[in-house]
Chain A
Amino acid sequence: MTKELDHGRTNAAQGSRIDAYVDRYAARAAGMVASEIRALFAVASRPEVVSLAGGMPYVTALPLDLVGELVADLVATRGSVALQYGSGQGDLALREQICEVMRMEGIEAGPDDVVVTVGSQQALDLITRIFIDPGDVVLAEGPSYVGALGTFSAYQAKVVHIAMDDHGLIPESLEETISAVQAAGERIKFLYTIPTFQNPAGVTLNEVRRRQVLEICRRAGVLVVEDNPYGLLGFDREPLRAMRADDPEGVVYLGSFSKTLAPGFRVGWALAPHAVRQKLVLAMESAVLSHSSFTQLAVGQYLATQPWREQIKSFRELYRERRDAMLAALDVLMPPGCTWTRPGGGFFVWATLPEGLDSKAMLPRAVAERVAFVPGTGFYTDGDGKRHMRLSYCYPEPDRIREGVRRLAGVVEQELQLRDTFGTGSMPGHVGVDTPGPDLA
């Protein structure tokens, strides 16, 4: 029997939510929703669009034929190991090679303290899993790597951002924030930092500040998680000394072959104090049993047989040329009022728009003009970042970068006119993730 309601409506059967499990998801899944901003990146994957949005390394520069031979040889000669389960901690020979790689940044460590992970992203996930209870505080640079923020949010951590400037995280801001958080009775579990060629800001924590940050965290009993995927990709100098090199007990170091070799292998690692490492191995086993033996051995074979240091140098040259192309184009083309960082390595420039502009409101127009970037809001958990955008130069060739910046400059001009017309450059808020998936160039 139906009952007549307002709106010429009857009270009929229950509706459908398309999802039979809608009431059963964990609270941590609440933010996992479709996003119009993210949908725009689907357009950015088309070749007509110059994408300055993604962070894909330029793997085409690798000697792919040699890598192919190496992989074929691996299966032919060591297939029974490569195609079998491995240990939760990772292949021992590879862990020894990883220690050799880390030595380039001043780290002295043994293979027992290394855990090989599925990219450094999994190391982040495991660390968060073993340290974070819902509501615990993670300190992170503002802005910070979106993949890390996503992981922290998935474990229901509260992220508190620490201000940065052109020299990286500001120690005074760190100290003040730690005091304020502790005074509020909240528990800080760790500081997450990308000290070298930071994603997304492109800036590097200088040596003086590295010591200060370590000292502040040591005094406050805060563990430092040093994420260093870009450390070997400096353009103008030898690799900086890692923070871990100066504080083996206070720092968990995350490394990756995604940028120095190829992300498709999904090989990263964590170097951790002994007790933390033990828990990471158990957490690793509960997550995936063991990493892929096949890709671990492939990376090991590559390191053992190929001139990998030379390859990293050639990547540096390639990315330096692209960085130069982007900075030169920005200098010439961007309207007054825009500023940007000048990275000494890595993949990203962090640009700031004139007062009143909203990079998220600008993205649809940019996509219509066939250029894409990542709005700054994706790199904060607190809604900050509207006036910023991340521009990556790692994937497009220099001519495309220049063309992309030319288009972007035109879009900024249009946004300025809109701001002047309406007295605001911001649009109403929306929900969802503002950053592209990992497979966007």
Chain B
Amino acid sequence: MSDIGHVLVLAGGLSYEREVSIRSGRRVAEALRSAGVDVEIRDTDATLVPAVLSDPPDVAFVTLHGGAGEDGAIRSVLELLGVPYVGATPDACRVAYDKPTAKAVVRSWGLNTPDSVALPKETFHDLGAAAVLGRIVDRLGLPLFVKPSRGGSALGASIVRTAEELPAAMVGCFAYGDTTLIEKYVEGVEVSVSVVDLGDGPVALPPVEIVADGGVYDYAARYTAGRTEFFAPARLTQEATEACAAMAVAAHAALGLRDLSRTDIIVDETGRPYFLEVNVAPGMTETSLLPMAVEAGGRDLGALCTSLLEVAVRRG
């Protein structure tokens, strides 16, 4: 057995990504067990706090996606309980999880990100949707990418190619959140760069290129094996690969993240990368990008997770 002690993997929760989180949690737990780690997997419900108080784990691995898992809430609770955990602090999570805020921060660090506007649904209600949407199309042009300001797995996200498609996209977006992020859509190669920091500074893993059938990397494309073709490492030139790696590491640093993160990037036709968003609790399922990057980097997921837990334990 490993000497990390008793590891608590948190998975499930009440966010829309509960199912994905449960799969991520099981995958991480399995990888850790195969590395000889003593693992317990738990949902975040009313039994969590009493259970942790009566039998405190030595360290926690958060595989909760969306909501409390990524907005810092669960990490705050872990701090209250005195349990070290893998990943970013609550403060950093709050900033990173809110996509418009994260974009503003990375842009202030000089990173390139598509022009966008973020608006709560009340604005459309109070000022009139047609007028506001018309102005957005005028300013940002078409196509656009519409997504909730928080959340993941492409839930509520859609590409808008004509102004007529915009109202339905807004309804789909507001189904999953109360604020929308409307971004200029950049055509290009979709890549995802995972960053890990095992105590020697953040390092980018090989970028993973995503080619979804039909061109849209939606929920079905993400979680149905076979619906998307992945290239790890991405089919990028050395220069573009390095630019993506630098962008992911810079975003990790700019947002004050720790241990691991995953940055989603679009590389346009000139080879220029655009920051789209960052994930503080990246998916760990069989079709998720971080495990692919780990493998492409010649590492073992269980060994990597164990190293991340060791870092967290040392940090205390």
Contact = CB atoms under 8 A, between A and B. Distances in A.
A364 interface: yes
A422 B124 contact: yes
B235 A19 contact: no
B190 to A, nearest CB: 10
Interface SS of chain A: loop
B168 interface: yes
B125 A430 contact: no
A139 B174 CA distance: 37
Interface SS of chain B: mixed
B101 interface: no
A357 to B, nearest CB: 10
Given A4-B237, A8-B240, A9-B240, A46 B225 contact: no
Interface size bucket, B side? 35 or more
A421 B14 CA distance: 28
Contacts of B234: 9
Interface string B124-161: 11000110000000000000000000000101101000
A428 B168 contact: yes
Contacts of B82: none
A33 B225 CA distance: 9
Nearest to A432: B220
B172 A6 contact: no
Given A7-B189, A9-B267, A46-B45, A364 B155 contact: yes
A48 B14 contact: yes
B171 A422 contact: yes
Given A18-B230, A430-B218, A430-B220, A423 B237 contact: no
Nearest to A6: B269
Interface stretch (A34-42, A189-197, A264-272): A34-42
A219 interface: no
Given A9-B189, A421-B129, A36 B153 contact: yes
Given A15-B231, A364-B156, A34 B165 contact: no
Contacts, number: 155
Contacts of A47: 45
Contacts of B188: 7
29 contacts: A6-B269, A7-B271, A8-B189, A8-B270, A15-B230, A16-B229, A16-B292, A17-B225, A17-B228, A18-B230, A21-B226, A36-B219, A36-B220, A39-B17, A39-B19, A40-B16, A42-B19, A42-B22, A46-B14, A361-B171, A365-B175, A418-B171, A418-B174, A422-B129, A422-B171, A424-B167, A426-B171, A427-B168, A428-B165
Interface of A: 4-13, 15-19, 21-22, 33-36, 39-40, 42-43, 46-49, 358, 361-365, 367, 417-419, 421-428, 430-432
Which 6 A-B pairs give the minimum distances between C-beta atoms? A8-B271, A427-B172, A8-B240, A22-B226, A34-B223, A42-B19
Given A15-B230, A363-B175, 5 more contacts: A7-B188, A8-B239, A17-B229, A18-B287, A46-B45
